[in-house]
Structure 1
Amino acid sequence: MNREYGLAYATLRAARSGGDVPFDAADPAAWIDVDYGVREHLLWENPSVDWLRTGETAPGGAAVAVALCHPDGRVREAALRRPEAAGFPALVVLRCADWARPVREEARRALAGLLPGVSPGTVALVAVVALRAAVRQRGDFARDLVMSFVRSPDRIDALLACADRGARRLGYRVAVEEGHLSAAELARAAATDPDVVVQDLCADAALAHTRDGDHGNVLRPLLASRQPRVRAAGVTALGRTGETEEAAGFLADRSGLVRACARWVLRRHGVDPLPLHRAACAGPDVLPGAPAGLGETGTRADAALLWPLVGHPRPAVRAKAVAALRVLDADAPARLEPLLDDPSVSVVREATTALLPVADRLSEDWLYDRLADDRPRHVRVSAFRLLSAHGPTAQLRCFLRLSDDEDPVLRERALTALDGWGPAGAAAAYRALPGPRRAELDALLERAAAGPGEGQVARVRWFLTAFR
């Protein structure tokens, strides 16, 4: 049973018993779902609306909700005229986009009349429903009306405290337009809000409204934020204040965007960042961003600074050093091979990526041994990736070995690879194999045929024998 269907039937049962709506009235998604569910799933239920015809008081909140969502447009229109409809602003908003013109016009009159009296808490609910309904063909009216209504301080605060991302975006846009928040408050919002749109909006507004002498109150939250985009905005603003020493401290930031902004600030003030990157990699306390930054700006000659970091105690530093060597095209396969057994997943991943272009030069048997069940999973994944870039028979041997593996992800990847296996020259390479290796492949084919790879094995066998 889907959510709309379940909510519709629960609401109908509550209406028949005279109860209230059986869901959280502050949940905007529930109102949208129950509206759709009643109209789509209860068409043949013929929910009773006798109280509308007789002019009696509604038997309960659920009965009003069912009437406002009723499949019959005349019932929806009549329900909107009742005073009880004001207690269901979310449904009134949805009716503003109704396909039936009389219903739509009545809902728009009702919404314009009830908005001035709603509480700040209800403002957030109405705004969320209006924003989500705006994608409908006639949904722009409610959105525009709500946007013009939420410009008072208490209503803006209600939007800023809303859990819904769209409502917070609207709240911060209005807050910026109305000057509702100070530059320091905008900076704190940019540093703490999880939504990137709000982060960018508030960071830009905070910096635009910063007065001379007030940079500290604005830049400190931005520079200390956990969000890379916000830190980048703060670092870029350092170019305005000329604080190159503080900008240099972000050359080893964990975010590449922040490092790039720090370099821009330094170059703008005539400082070459490359010597600073080199010094950051040569010091005693190397941060993971230091080798990454050197890889972004250095040359192959800087490999002498990076290779010692491949043995650093911190896995993040080792991984970034390997990545930097790859970017500088200074990696040496023989020196990277031992890293495929590193206990760190990120180090093995970076070493694998660096070795992929030369995978066919690595020992097939050495890699094949790392597919063993007792190896760590990240080591087995690395061996699979490298053998997949090896010669055709090495690929086949790997795929067959893993076609019945206990690891479901590796097994599925191997079976998928078997489906597409058939490189040029594979049949000739198979025939040229030494006897023991060919016998091993045949045994793997037999084993795979008895497992999940039966269909794939039949195709592989045909491929190996069809081009004699």
Structure 2
Amino acid sequence: MRSEETPLDAAIRGLARGARRLDRVIEAWRPAAWLELDRRIRISIGQGEIERPVHPWMSTGRLPAALRAALRAPAPTGSGLTLALCDPSGLVREAALAHAARHPAVLPLVAIRTTDWVPAVRDRAREVLTAALPGADTGALAVTAPVILRLRKRLRGGTAVALLDAVLRAAPGDDLTLLLRSRDRATRRFAFGIAAERGLLTPADLARTAAYDGDVAVQDVAATAALAAGVPDETLPLLLTARSGRVRSAGVTALRKAGRAAEAEAFLHDRSGMVRACARWVLRQDGRDPLALYRAACADPAAVPARAPLGLAECGDRTADAETLWGLTGHPDPLVRSSAVAGLRTFETAEFARLLPLLDDPSPGVVREAARTLLPWADRVREEEFLRRTGPGRPVHVRVRALLLLRECGSAAYREVAERLVADPDPVLRLRVRRALGREEPLPRPAGARRLWGRREDGSVG
């Protein structure tokens, strides 16, 4: 026995005593749990951590069912069959497979055996799975499908995946619907793709999934299927109001096919760059010039949409439009200011004297964009400009960005300043600096604290 016994080790010892049911040993919906169970049983038996079970049914395991019955061979119990299917001996595993079809609870282990390193075991497991999977109840299918899909990464995992694909394409709609609610992401994606191809979901259902689902891959499949259904009155309103920019962009692109290209103008100022680009494309295909629309929107500071300055930079000209953006960096709305600064970054402006004052903006968003714009040129700015902004009395968002720029410009004072800020009275600043320095045991996150340091998943400074 190992010096430190895990809950799974204890459960396996219970199985060896016949005292544990399989559904109480592991979280059956997790494919990794089945793979770990298989591995730990093999190790436990092989290393003598548990006594090797006696399998009296093995001597008749390869005989026809009628002859086994005549000989009154004892049928394996659930726990004994589980242990046998994971035994280090290929002979035991192969013999156990002869009984596995009558025990749906062990189908995930049968699926694992389809990638077994022993050819005889592998072939027998494939026969059993091919016979049992099409008639499996929804519960067995729900726990076996995730294991099969996890096996795709293995050398011989494709056979079981192809079988699952064929079974789901012929399965009743209710069985497939159950897998759409699976907690395993790969299973849900796989099932959703087949359900969409089979037309089991209405266009409105597809559009709602695209708009509200939390899985990006499912969103994409649902949006594509919803648009292919060709029912714009049911699908477009949901797609155009989705939280995901990818889904909204699909809806905007579909406006042209639906004969509603003029509606794309409202998306020129969307928060997503992808959506803005799609809106510009749709308008150009409709014979309208998005650049003229952006210039008109930015010409009136009293009515400029928040992201119009950034859209102007994305399709405008630095010589003609940069001054318009500079003028909007003083706009009362912080969203307009930050959008203007982001637009100047798109124009690759290097006017340090005009950018530096923006590091003192009261809006964290504006300071963030100004810091990102200055980042490529940080080594060309006098370090005093950043040093003085790290001092006490400055807002936290200003001090954090200044310290970041100090690091990026390669200042020798960066480490000294960072060490000083570790002891700063402001808990948010202390937390960010400790994390930036890689200190162990960071302070607890203060209630309501915002993330002011590091990088987002898209690579932007956050």
TM-score class normalised by the smaller sequence: 0.7 to 0.9
Question: What's the counterpart of residue 450 of structure 1?
Answer: none
Distance in 2 (alpha carbons) for counterparts of 1:291 and 1:122:
56
- Structure 2 match to 1:238: 255
Structure 1 Cα separation of the partners of residues 125 and 237 of structure 2: 48
Q: Deviations over 1:80-102 (max 9, x none)?
A: 22255432111111111111122
Deviations 1:434-453 (A, max 9, x none): xxxxxxxxxxxxxxxxxxxx
Shift of 1:168: 2.2
Task: Give the structure 2 partner of residue 40 of structure 1.
Answer: 43
Residues 85 and 92 in structure 1, CA contact (< 8 A), matched pair in contact too: no
**How far apart, in 1, do the equivalents of 2:75 and 2:420 lie?**
67
TM-score, length-scaled by structure 2: 0.79
Inter-partner Cα distance in structure 2 for 1:208 and 1:155: 24
Q: How does 1:21-420 map to 2 (within 5 A)?
A: 21=22, 22-44=25-47, 45-53=49-57, 55-58=73-76, 61-82=78-99, 85-151=103-169, 152=171, 153-210=173-230, 214-281=231-298, 282=300, 284=302, 286-300=304-318, 301-329=320-348, 332-359=351-378, 362-372=381-391, 375-388=394-407, 390=409, 395-403=411-419, 405-406=421-422, 407=430, 410=433
- Determine the C-alpha separation between the residues in 2 that align with 1:385 and 1:182: 50
Q: Is the 8 A contact 1:252 1:280 kept in 2?
A: no
CA RMSD, 1 decimal? 3.0
Cα deviation, 1:229-252, whole Å, max 9, x if unaligned, reads 111111111111232321001000
Instruction: Measure the CA separation in 2 of the matches of 1:380 and 1:334.
Output: 19
CA-to-partner distance for each residue in 1:249-275, whole Å, 9 max, x for gaps? 100011111100000000001100112
Code of the aligned partner of 2:137: S
Q: CA deviation at 1:17?
A: 4.8
The 10-residue stretch of structure 1 (172-181 or 249-258) with the greater mean CA deviation from structure 2: 172-181
Identity %: 43
Q: Distance in 1 between matches of 2:301 and 2:45?
A: 71
Could you say what secondary structure the match of 1:26 adopts?
Answer: coil
Structure 1 unaligned regions, length at least 5: 417-468
Give the AA of the match of 1:369.
R
3-state SS in 2 of match to 1:225: coil
One-letter amino acid matched to 1:23: I
Q: CA 1:137–1:329 in structure 2 vs 1: closer, same or farther (change >3 Å)?
A: closer
Partner in structure 1 of residue 13 of structure 2: 12
Aligned amino acid, residue 28 of structure 1: P
Q: 2: distance between equivalents of 1:404 and 1:42? A: 57
| Cα offset, 1:170, TM superposition | 1.8
Residue type of the partner of 1:267?
A: R
Equivalences, count: 408
TM-score normalised to structure 1 length: 0.78
Q: Which amino acid aligns with 2:414?
A: C
Which runs of no fewer than 5 residues in structure 2 stay unpaired?
59-72, 423-429, 440-462
Closer/same/farther in 2, CA of residues 361 and 73 from structure 1, 3 Å limit: closer
Label 1:285 to 1:57 Cα distance change in 2 as closer, same or farther (>3 A): farther
Q: CA distance change for structure 1 residues 129 and 304 in 2, over 3 Å: closer, same or farther?
A: same
8 A Cα contact 1:404 1:411, kept in partner = no
Q: 1:333 to 1:105 in 2, by over 3 A?
A: same
Query: In the TM superposition, what is the alpha-carbon distance from 1:373 to its structure 2 partner?
Result: 5.8
2:190, 2:198 → 1: CA distance? 12
Give how far 1:110 is off: 1.6
The answer (yes or no) to whether the contact 2:84–2:93 under 8 Å persists in 1 is yes
